[in-house]
Structure 1
Amino acid sequence: MNDDSRWLAAAAALAARARPLSRPNPGVGALLVKDGRVLARGWTQEGGRPHAEAVALGLAGDAAHGATLYVTLEPCAHQSPRGPSCADLICAARPARVVIGCMDPDPRTSGAGLARIRAAGIAAEYLHSPACEESLAGYLLQRTQGRPHVTLKLALSLDGCIAMASGESQWITGAEARAHTHAQRARSDAILVGGGTLRADTPRLDVRLPGLEARSPTRWVLTRGTVPEGWNALPSPEAIRDMDAVQYLFVEGGAGAAAAFLKARLVDRLLIYRAPILVGGRPGLGDYGLCALSQAHGRWSLVERRALGSDTLEVYSAR
């Protein structure tokens, strides 16, 4: 990686602080760098304003002149009642150079942000950054496909079970894996289970990590029936296109809901927590429509593996 790619990757890591509080706006990260030193940094604030660039430029003040601004997403070019466009703020701050890691598919900005900055005599370029695209996955899917990014979580025994034959499931995994799951909940706009899981377990689906309790996502259940107070009904996986302002959906199970989303080809990321136990109970995944074993191959790429206490986490992305 060259220096530009490294700084963009650092800005993408910074953008994680915006998720999911920046909704309905994307979570963007920005860094102002001069002579290899970070002058200021910013990320999209709660409720979507101020934007990452505005935060970083405001902190840097006059020091932004002559620096390089790294931004994960193309600076916005449209005016808003909530504040000026980031492209205009950049033009006024006069950095020497702007590097962005992802073009904005929003038609109000697409290409116009870079064009406005260049017209002001500031060098501006797009450098494709997988790290930036990954950090904006939910926003990009909403803009291009009209649906949220979907993560499917499965907590399994070594023999692929999510519960004993009796239905007992608390707990398959240990405390470290459960804490990691709660951190993933805190990064999601919405969380979903199947109707069977809701009836059998009455799950809370909240975030129980100290300091992050307020980040509990909205609760959804996959059902065409009525739902309890505080829950939302999703009639089918395809109906995620009607989930307003949801960029990141976390599907926690059970086997039927997991199979339904996989069958609809609407899972973008798999989190598989595997405990070193044998249960001989209820399988973690139902039939999701494969007609031949060959259809199962080539669908997933392993992107991360780590130990969480005595358990193992594997993360896969859809190909």
Structure 2
Amino acid sequence: MAASDAERRAMLRALELAADPEVPLGPNPRVGCVLIDAAGRVIAEGRHRGAGTPHAEAAALAAAGSAARGATAVVTLEPCDHTGRTGPCSLALLSAGVRRVVFAQPDANPAAAGGADRLRAGGVEVEGGLLAEKATALNRVWSFAVQHRRPFVTWKFAATLDGRSAAADGTSRWVSSRAARVDAHRLRGLCDAILVGTGTVEVDDPQLTVRDEHDDVLPRQPLRAVMGLRAVPPGRRVLDDAAETVLLRTRDPWVALADLWARDHQHVFLEGGPTLAAAFLQAGLVDEIVAYVAPALLGAGQPAVGDLCIGTIADALRLELCEVVTVGAGAEANARLVLNPSRSEPTPAESGKER
């Protein structure tokens, strides 16, 4: 039985609920759920509000009460069949007497998948795939991380028009405009870990927090991760109490990402210097690039990325240009470029690293 017009409208609403910007990001996907009756009228709505809180289906069922019996649950992600901090949504839907379930995206997490089969076995009509592309795009980072068993990596850098991230004397504040920096903090807030190397901490002493347009530190902060074999000097701002910090004693990007994955982090914002950027690029572990390009020239100084061991133009790392946006206006204008590396991801063995 194909999805009805009422179910399609309910799915569009469920996607709106899932996209709520007030919901903190974390190890779980964004999910919305709408319960409708046989006439297509909305009974109740629910959204997942972060790790440890009720799933979207459970929130909608709680709001509906006994009215859920005989209803159709329209949900952006296949109901889970997993007991974690909360119980399986598949069993909750069965217990509530829901007649039909329509979902968009299949659950890519093998630990939680199987809800559709459980529901069918319990006599519930199940229809999957409604607006699946929209749901997958909403959870693109989570979907990638679950599929690849590692965090999605966004490399962010700021540079002049000739690709310099610092002048010849080492000064780099500020290559980008204030408008670009405010925008970069917005993107920081969409990630759950910010990663730099020990060299960046020693030279720049960044705090690595997410701040608003008034430069105030926001209540919710990503994990601050510093990788490298050198110790972080006492008194560095990354060690303050503004956010949690972890020190990753490795120079291997694969090991660093494995550690962050084990800590339930799905989206890494890579903000290290040119050496760290080159290491991740050479390992094939950069999934998205966000570049803030300032209308300025230096002619010399530190490049945005280190040596990639590319000797000829035929071997250049080609990038797919996905978005170009002007950030700010007048003297504050910078270009924000979003690019994707146009190549397949190597395995750890292919990168030359021993696991």
TM-score (norm 2): 0.76
Does 2:58 match 1:42? no
Match of 1:237 among 224, 232, 253: 253
Aligned to 1:101, the other structure's residue is in SS state strand
Equivalence for 2:307 = 287
SS in 2 for 1:79: coil
Distance 1:247 1:19, change over 3 A: farther
Contact 1:18/1:28 (<8 A) preserved: no
Distance in 2, matches of 1:277 and 1:315, equals 19
**Is 1:89 the equivalent of 2:78?**
no
Gaps of 5+ in 1: none
Residue from 154, 177, 181 that aligns with 1:178:
181
Decide whether aligned partners of structure 1 residues 219 and 118 sit closer, same or farther in structure 2, where only a CA change above 3 A counts. same
**Cα-to-partner distance string for 1:109-130 (whole Å, 9 max, x where unaligned):** 32x2001222333332221733
Contact 1:152 1:269 (C-alpha < 8 Å) held by counterparts: yes
Query: Are the counterparts in 1 of residues 80 and 90 from structure 2 also a CA contact under 8 Å?
Result: yes
Match 1:305 to one of 292, 313, 324: 324
Per-residue Cα deviation, 1:129-164 (whole angstroms, up to 9, x for no partner):
333334334433443332111110011221111122
- Which residue of 1 is the match for residue 63 of structure 2? 59
Q: How far apart are 1:65 and its partner, in Å?
A: 5.3
Query: What letter is aligned with 2:175?
Result: I
Q: Which moved more, 1:64-73 or 1:46-55?
A: 64-73
Q: Which runs of 5+ in 2 are unaligned?
A: 234-238, 240-244, 343-355
Contact kept in structure 2, 1:155 and 1:274, CA below 8 Å = yes
The residue type equivalent to 1:251 in the other structure is L
Pairwise CA distance, 1:62: 4.8
Equivalent-residue separation in structure 2 for 1:31 and 1:217 (angstroms) = 27
TM-score, length of structure 1 as denominator length: 0.84
Amino acid at match of 2:254: E
Q: Which has the larger radius of gyration?
A: 2
User: Secondary structure at 1:215's aligned position in 2?
Assistant: coil
Give the match for residue 268 of structure 2. Answer: 249
Shift, 1:83, TM fit? 3.4
Report Cα offsets for 1:82-108 as digits up to 9, x if no partner. 433111222244555433333223334
Report Cα offsets for 1:247-289 as digits up to 9, x if no partner: 1111012111111111110011111112222233322111223
What's the secondary structure of 2:278's corresponding residue?
A: helix
The alignment covers a number of residue pairs equal to 314
Secondary structure, in 3 states, of the residue corresponding to 2:101?
strand
The CA distance in 1 between the partners of 2:285 and 2:167, in whole Å, is 28
Tell me how large the CA RMSD over aligned residues is. Answer: 3.1
Comparing 127-136 with 271-280, greater Cα deviation is found at 127-136
Mapped to 1, the partners of 2:118 and 2:64 lie a distance apart of 21
Percent identity for Structure 1 against Structure 2 = 37
Report the Cα distance in structure 2 between the residues aligned to 1:190 and 1:315, rounded to whole angstroms.
19
Query: Could you give the per-residue CA deviations for residues 45-102 of structure 1, whole angstroms, max 9, x where no partner exists?
Result: 233321122223323445555655343332111334x433111222244555433333
Match of residue 34, structure 2, among 23, 32, 37: 32
